[in-house]
Structure 1
């Protein structure tokens, strides 16, 4: 069967129906890829360097011949792998620019009866789209609150009642503190984070508000795009309040079950900010299983950090909302009421 070259707009409608193959090298794939792709390298990392160098020095014809020389002996192995993985024989494929590597793979697969859709412009086209999307203007509504106020849980509840949300910490595999990586999968690269982020934004209606948790510019080792971060700072913010005990209880629920050695390492990462005495006290409390004590100790630091970050937010665009002692459903109702106040330009209030 012949291949069909598809545009990015056509790709969106087809991706849910067919498997997606990335024909680039392992290194390129590890750096970033279209989410959901499976890597079938036509040229591996060393071979890609050889062909790329030859292309620069002697041109495309020499590079193409060399590419076939390198990959030719593996054609049968590639076909066996793809046939095993995709017995339905229908796939979408891409490489960096939609050039030689995806063309070779497409040719191979059509030889054994595959229905192939090849992305025009390759990964570069997709990456340009995702890069631009996370830097567009968005209608944001920021959910703020000190550590332990349950912002992520509230976002999830808001989504359940039909509100648009983006869970940045979920996308980043990090909860945004020294303790935030414990029990989480490895963080993606910055480029892959933007791809995942763009996929989430693409599902949103830009005419409606998108709830997002208040974050610093860095989430673990990932950095938010400057324009998006500045939009967060300029957006309306609902600063939720909970009692200290509620916050301690929630943090204990999420972190007390984690490995003691990882909790201690997280405290040690904050030693310069906490000081020697408070660091030692927190470690002793962790070892003794006195979770209330070490969490209270950490909150002294994190509360100061939150106040510092809150001061960066646009003046006149904050509602403070006390959710102490109320159930999740009532909390959501109060949040939606606060959203209505913002839409009516009612700001700088305390509920």
Structure 2
């Protein structure tokens, strides 16, 4: 058997080249896990419940014996599965605390020639790291603006130019409105979202500016960490504006091809706020394929909601930028110039704009 206990920093480096196995149960993995890991439960959900109950009632020895009784018949299947999927015979491994489940899996794999690197402290160590990472201070610049001004498109263009960007809606698999979950993958749990956010943040320089979109506390069912949300509220913000026609066109491009029944459901979720007449008109327009009309109807509500945000206290750096009829490349250059101005006023080193 070849096993090495490794620290989290060693684990994060080795995962660039080695596959990762998570030995916890299915529900534990679904709730949250280290991104990139594959689930290979030593005890499935039902077995884990049985062993846990026995541990509480009779103690550790009875629980251990029952665990081996349950999982023992599958030992050869586990070995065959891992041999088939990982012929290089090198693997990273963890369970909840780096305890019995990962030890058992490590032993099984070592018996068939695997070199195993087992995370000391298990997932709990990783989760402590990500929890703390998303609560650190960052040098954010916030992109704001009404619905349909293309903030996500701008973020992607800035990233393509080498800028540091965090796409919260992309990580949350939700665009942040009643329509935001349509066509998206299932949202991660709040804990897994924090893991994904931390993974993004560790790729970035904490000192230099990071572009981020103005978001409410909740993005669909995901809640932003308090520290990140408070920084979004107080960081320099650039409020983008475009013509209503441009905004409608942008929304139409994103939503018109999505399933009609899901769009209807999204409109109905807003019916109390839209009012009966406006809801009826929007549903009729959607049914008849008059996309610009129902979108224009929705913007009445969303623009009113945006107006509440305008009443919040003024930040130290709050600028408006009209990008109406401005090409994307030119829009990015305008944003980069503003970033440099903000840096200069804050006493930070100014980046060169090419």
If the TM-score is normalised by the length of the shorter chain, which range does it land in? Answer: over 0.9
2:107 paired residue number: 107
Q: How many residues align?
A: 346
Shift, 1:263, TM fit:
1.0
Shift, 1:154, TM fit:
0.3
TM-score scaled by length of structure 2: 0.95
Cα distance between partner residues in 1 of 2:192 and 2:68: 30
Matches within 5 A, 1:84-233: 84-233=84-233
Q: Is the 8 A contact 1:98 1:120 kept in 2?
A: yes
2:352 paired residue number: none
Q: Is the 8 A contact 2:236 2:315 kept in 1?
A: no
Shift, 1:2, TM fit:
1.5
Cα distance between partner residues in 2 of 1:182 and 1:310: 28
Q: Which string of whole-angstrom CA distances, capped at 9 and with x for unpartnered residues, describes residues 142-175 of structure 1?
A: 0001111000000001011111000000000001
TM-score scaled by length of structure 1: 0.96
1:320 paired residue number: 320
Structure 2 unaligned blocks of 5 or more: 347-354
1:336 paired residue number: 336
Q: Is the 8 A contact 2:235 2:315 kept in 1?
A: no
Q: Is the 8 A contact 1:233 1:312 kept in 2?
A: no
Shift, 1:54, TM fit:
2.5
Matches within 5 A, 1:237-276: 237-276=237-276
Q: Is the 8 A contact 1:19 1:37 kept in 2?
A: yes
Report the CA distance shift for 1:33/1:310 in structure 2 as closer, same or farther (over 3 A).
farther
Q: Is the 8 A contact 2:239 2:321 kept in 1?
A: yes
1:286 paired residue number: 286
1:40 maps to 2:40: yes
Cα distance between partner residues in 1 of 2:337 and 2:116: 51
Q: Is the 8 A contact 1:98 1:121 kept in 2?
A: yes
Cα distance between partner residues in 2 of 1:235 and 1:314: 11
Cα distance between partner residues in 2 of 1:193 and 1:270: 26
Shift, 1:321, TM fit:
0.5
